Amino acid sequence: MEVLGSKGLLKRHEFVRILIQCLYSLGYKNSASCLEHESDISCKSSEFEFLEKQVLSGGWDGCLEVLGRVFDDGGDERRDAALYLVLKQCLSEYLRRGETSLALSVLQKQAQVLRVGKERIHRLAFDVFTSKEMEPGEVADDDGGFLVRDSRRRLLAELVKLIPTPVVIPERRLEYLVESAVMNQIDTCLYHNSWGAVSLYEDHRCGRDQIPSETVQVLVAHKNEVWFVQFSDSGKYLATASSDCTAIIWKVLDDNKVELMHTLQSHKNPVSFVSWSPDDTKLLTCGNAEVLKLWDVDTGELRHTFGNNDSGFTVSSCAWFPDSTRLVCGSSDPERGIVMWDTDGNEIKAWRGTRIPKVVDLAVTPDGESMITVFSDKEIRILNLESLVERVITEEQPITSLSVSGDGKFFIVNLSSQEIHLWDLAGEWKQPLKFSGHRQSKYVIRSCFGGLDSSFIASGSEDSQVYIWNLKNKKPLEVLSGHSMTVNCVSWNPRNPRMLASASDDQTIRIWGPGKPNKPENRLDNQKQ
């Protein structure tokens, strides 16, 4: 047996046969035929060529014979499925021609021989005799009818999916093998962060230019510490909140430059949290000593205030439901609990009482089915809002913040023990993935998912830097310097995987873009775990 490749792992005959299949699938029929002739290797096996001829000509006895040879194991489920399809096609054609008695005879005779099971035979008879295709006048009454030929081709395509190798080659086999090799390289590339096609001319390896790692703009408008930053769902806007008692809406321009749009001035105390409606038309702002306010994004006007400072209804965090008409907020005051409102300020539902302690942070999954809440520092509750089934996770260290991935399958929490824990929403993990390297011990530090398919985590830090991890590695991939004081919060643009914003006690917001192109050693197998 002749082999190819430096490792001697590739069989020459199979390699050439797959090449021929690829040429045919790409439309290069002459080249494929020439290679078949020159190599004396056929793309189709002799068994398949015979089967193809029998199917297209309606030679059902021949079909059953070759399928019996192809499947060595009589108990193979794929064999039973293939025989079932052939029998169904045979019966259908007899009935199209009005040969009902012949169809029944075949059904009775073949049922026991083919061993496809009594239930499936009954189902087959029902399907065939009640099919709309059996209605008179639907098809030509000869085997050359277009619909008959078309149904036979569809049968052949279904049989190809069931017949084992090497009788048939799986469809587009070379493309699959090459794509698998490329995906393996991408999976071990820690900087990969783009949707585009990759080159086959060299092994795939991205550099820092694929992720936001250089400051491209510094926003200076707040007059005190900036505590929160968040891009809108469309990525076209940015909102920031500050201890100067204001929030700012920024516009993201087509060239990714950011300009001030509205300064929101109504709060009497520091603003520590904002939340964008999924449709980008509304913004919520709140703070630990502040009420919840709803703003119009286009005009910057205040639309509604939920509660008032005098009544003590202060809100620490808030979130939207996917319809952009309902919202939920949690209070640091245990007596206030969690409240769901509509945008007109009507209370829809509330969770209060002894089971609802101080709310540290909360979020609603993108599908609106679950609410995740951090209570009294160390407890995470995941409530399915339809089934009302609740799951509780208890961390050993105080939690300061919560963030949900774009697909709603995962969430991360920042701990005061200088760790970020990644949990799955479905509850299949017994332990979280842990990321460390940043500094956090005294302040509320917020992190976020970002990049292609939420493959990265970014976080602020008390050492005035921004930290970025790839989910495949617990050690930081990049540490970004630029701020001069604690970085409180970060936000990754959900529509631009190469754009990140960070908010700091130095009163600025930094916009980060792609770094200088280089090719560092960033393969996963080269990283110390």
Domain boundaries, the chain: 208-514
Residue range 119-129: mean pLDDT, rounded? 68
Q: Which residues of 129-148 are buried (b: 16+ CB within 10 A; e: fewer)?
A: eeeeebeeeebeeeeeeeeb
Nearest alpha-carbon partner for 270 in 224, 230, 330: 224
pLDDT at 74: 55
pLDDT digits (tens, 9 = 90+) for 456-471: 999 999 999 999 999 9
pLDDT digits (tens, 9 = 90+) for 240-291: 999 999 999 999 999 999 999 999 999 999 999 999 999 999 999 998 788 8
pLDDT digits (tens, 9 = 90+) for 500-513: 999 999 999 999 99
* Lowest mean pLDDT across 143-157, 162-176, 254-268, 422-436: 143-157
Q: What is the DSSP letter of 486?
A: -
pLDDT digits (tens, 9 = 90+) for 52-67: 999 999 998 899 889 8
> Are 463 and 483 in contact, with CB atoms under 8 Å apart?
no
Domain 208-514 architecture: 7 Propeller (2.130)
Q: Is the pLDDT of residue 437 over 90?
A: yes
Residue range 84-102: mean pLDDT, rounded? 83
pLDDT at 139: 44
> Are 456 and 211 in contact, with CB atoms under 8 Å apart?
yes
* pLDDT class of 112 with cuts at 50, 70, 90: low
pLDDT at 88: 85
pTM of the prediction? 0.82
Chain mean pLDDT for the chain: 89
* pLDDT class of 357 with cuts at 50, 70, 90: confident
Cα 35 to chain centroid, rounded: 41
pLDDT at 528: 43
pLDDT at 31: 97
> Are 226 and 240 in contact, with CB atoms under 8 Å apart?
yes
Residue range 87-105: mean pLDDT, rounded? 82
Residues in the chain: 529
> Are 264 and 296 in contact, with CB atoms under 8 Å apart?
no
pLDDT digits (tens, 9 = 90+) for 166-213: 999 999 999 999 999 999 999 999 999 988 888 999 999 898 899 999
Residue 524, helix vs strand vs coil: helix
For residue 350, give the amino acid letter.
A
Q: Is the pLDDT of residue 133 over 80?
A: no
pLDDT digits (tens, 9 = 90+) for 366-422: 999 999 999 878 999 999 999 999 999 999 999 999 999 999 999 999 999 999 999
pLDDT at 272: 94
Nearest alpha-carbon partner for 332 in 364, 305, 356, 307: 356
- The residue that leads in pLDDT, 208 or 327, is 327
Q: Is the pLDDT of residue 320 over 90?
A: yes
> Are 361 and 347 in contact, with CB atoms under 8 Å apart?
no
Q: Is the pLDDT of residue 220 over 70?
A: yes
pLDDT at 181: 95
Q: How far apart are CA 85 and CA 147, in angstroms?
A: 17
Q: Name residue, tokens 């250089």.
A: 214
